[in-house]
Structure 1
Amino acid sequence: MFDILVKGFLIGILTSIPVGPIAMLCIQKTLNKGHMHGFFSGLGAATSDTTYAMVALFGLSFVMPFIEQNQLLIQIIGSIVILLFGFFIFSKNPVAVLNKNIATKESYLQDYLASLLLTLSNPLIIFLFLGLFARFSFLSNTDNTVYSLSGIIAVFAGASTWWFVLTFVASIFRKKINIRGLGVINKLTGSVIIVLALGGLILSILGKSVNV
């Protein structure tokens, strides 16, 4: 049981570490709104990743044919969603954001759901889980329900821990950044997300597998 928990925890971290649109979103949320807003955005991503980990583990025979047959369409749609989100962040005015935060307190649930829905647009992460499951010989026997559920919970715990650490580190620099700095960060974050999304879209059209 202990080795399953350790492996699951490591897999959760490894699937979250790549610096992509979601990481940029969590950092941007942290710098604009505070640590917990960024962390709850990360929890949304962790929930989505855990969902796809369960699909990879339990529902592979049902889901994989659909994903393989529609891989190009899924990649294009996912890239377009992320591209639009990048434009949204790029155009955000930090002064307006701060004024809005003062007038109406945005809930952590909104941050959580926004990140969850954005991350769910990329089901191709299932392939990453398949590779990691094979590499770590993780839950090769899924007949034991207790072991399987414990492993999945460990994946979620690992991913959540990574997002907590990342947003905590980002929050340390928050007080050192002024309004102008927040504007620059929004532009940079939006630009990075747009570039990643465009890259994913171009590679998808060219017929190359990509995980943005």
Structure 2
Amino acid sequence: MSGALVSGLLAGLGIAMPVGAVGTYLVAVTARTNLRTGAGAALGVATADGLYALLAVAGGAALVPVLRPVLVPLRIVSGVVLLALAVHAAVKAVARHRARAGTGPAREQTPLGPRRAYLGFLGITLMNPLTVVYFTALVMGGQGASLTDLPRQSVFVAAAFAASAAWQLLLASGGALLGRSLTGDLGRLLTATASSALIAALAVQLLASVTPP
């Protein structure tokens, strides 16, 4: 049982720690809203990782050929969505900064709440079925022998979710600290545009890397 726990924790960290466009967007959203919203977004990402870990231990290698035909379309959709989000965030930040010019500080509006953030980030992360391929490779390549029954499989999935959630919440906490340290309008404008540029660059890189399966 301890082997399944350790394997799940390592697998969850392995898929969560590389900070790509979704992780960058998570930090940016938390910086301009609040930690509750960021936590909702973080748990959305972790839920997707947990669901894909569950699919991997439940379906194993049989899922890979089923998913292969949709890998490229979903990665393209994911890249386009992230690019659109980056552009939208930058435009909104510039418009908000111009509206405030000469009027003094104003209370930051946060229409994106924890529930919407959770569902939005869950959807974005589910667009990357390579996650289930990653978990399947781990399960079939070396961990399959230790995941022979339902209790061990459940521990593996729960540990993978917990590890991913812990890392994503750490990113959200960093975004909250960043948001509190940049309370001025100019600071928030620069942070929003810089993060949008980074997200857009990562999204373009994702689209450029798409090759037929």
Same fold (TM over 0.5): yes
Aligned partner of residue 122 in structure 1, secondary structure: coil
Are the equivalent residues in 2 in contact too, given 1:7–1:138 (CA < 8 A)? yes
Query: Which residue number in structure 1 is paired with residue 194 of structure 2?
Result: 188
Q: Distance in 2 between matches of 1:117 and 1:98?
A: 29
Query: Which residue number in structure 2 is paired with residue 44 of structure 1?
Result: 44
Q: How does 1:4-43 map to 2 (within 5 A)?
A: 4-43=4-43
Query: Which residue number in structure 1 is paired with residue 150 of structure 2?
Result: 145
Q: Distance in 2 between matches of 1:74 and 1:108?
A: 25
Query: Which residue number in structure 2 is paired with residue 120 of structure 1?
Result: 126
**What per-residue deviation string (whole Å, max 9, x for no partner) do you get for residues 191-212 of structure 1?**
11211111221221xx277xxx
Give 2:113's match in structure 1, choosing from 95, 107, 117.
Answer: 107
Structure 1's 173 and 193: CA in aligned 2 closer, same or farther, altered over 3 A? closer
Aligned partner of residue 138 in structure 1, secondary structure: helix
Aligned partner of residue 173 in structure 1, secondary structure: helix
Q: Distance in 2 between matches of 1:172 and 1:77?
A: 31
- Greater Cα shift, 57-66 or 81-90: 57-66
**Regions of 4+ moved over 6 Å:** none
TM-score (normalizing by structure 1): 0.84
Aligned partner of residue 91 in structure 1, secondary structure: helix
Q: AA paired with 1:130?
A: T
Query: Which residue number in structure 1 is paired with residue 65 of structure 2?
Result: 65
Q: Distance in 2 between matches of 1:165 and 1:13?
A: 12
Q: Distance in 2 between matches of 1:130 and 1:71?
A: 15
Aligned residues: 203
Deviation at 1:109, TM superposition (A): 0.8
Q: AA paired with 2:109?
A: K
Structure 1's 83 and 169: CA in aligned 2 closer, same or farther, altered over 3 A? closer
Q: Distance in 2 between matches of 1:21 and 1:199?
A: 10
Structure 1's 98 and 130: CA in aligned 2 closer, same or farther, altered over 3 A? farther
**Unaligned 5+ residue runs, structure 2?**
100-105
**What per-residue deviation string (whole Å, max 9, x for no partner) do you get for residues 125-167 of structure 1?**
22222344456x3343544111111110011110111122222
Q: Distance in 2 between matches of 1:173 and 1:52?
A: 31
Structure possessing the higher radius of gyration over alpha carbons: 2
TM-score (normalizing by structure 2): 0.83
Q: Distance in 2 between matches of 1:98 and 1:49?
A: 35
Percent identity between matched residues is 23
Q: Distance in 2 between matches of 1:173 and 1:87?
A: 21
Q: AA paired with 1:185?
A: T
Q: AA paired with 2:26?
A: C
Aligned partner of residue 23 in structure 2, secondary structure: helix
Are the equivalent residues in 2 in contact too, given 1:89–1:189 (CA < 8 A)? no
